[in-house]
Each structure stands twice: as structure tokens, then as C-alpha cells.
Amino acid sequence: MSATPASIMGFSGEPALRVGGPADLVAFRARSFTELLARPQSDRLVIRAGRGLDAELPDHRALDAGLA
């Protein structure tokens, strides 16, 4: 949404919210960072290419292979 976070994340070019631009984001039901970090955000909404993803999170055991 702004140049500083885009720079930190390694994006080049001028970041912009615009009609027709990419819409990849995660929305959380929290009013502050304190609320965001205080609990698991299982009610988050993941939006990829402008569409909400409707996928179940994997079981933690399914992720173990990636740690080895």
C-alpha cells in the first residue's frame, strides 16, 4: 500500500492500489495490531487475484516434511 513496506518486502517499482491492479491480500478481523497478534486468526480472509480463497488450512503434521 505504500513504498516503505514494498521496499522492505523487496518489491521494485511504484506500489499502487488501482482499478485493474493485482488484488492479493489478507484481511483480518482485528482493530489493532494487539488484537491481531493476541489470537490465532482462523477467521482471516485470503484474497488472491481479487477472489477470496476457500481452502482449509493443512494439519501441522502435513507441514513437517518441509522442516527437514
Domain region containing 39: 22-54
Query: Is 15 inside any structural domain?
Result: no
What's this model's pTM, rounded to 2 decimal places?
0.53
Query: Is 36 inside any structural domain?
Result: yes
Cα-based distances in Å from 25 to 7, 32, 38, 45, 67: 17, 17, 20, 8, 26
Looking at the 3D structure of the chain, how many domains does it have? 1
pLDDT tens digit string along 8-59? Answer: 777 776 656 677 777 888 888 888 889 888 887 778 888 888 888 887 777 8
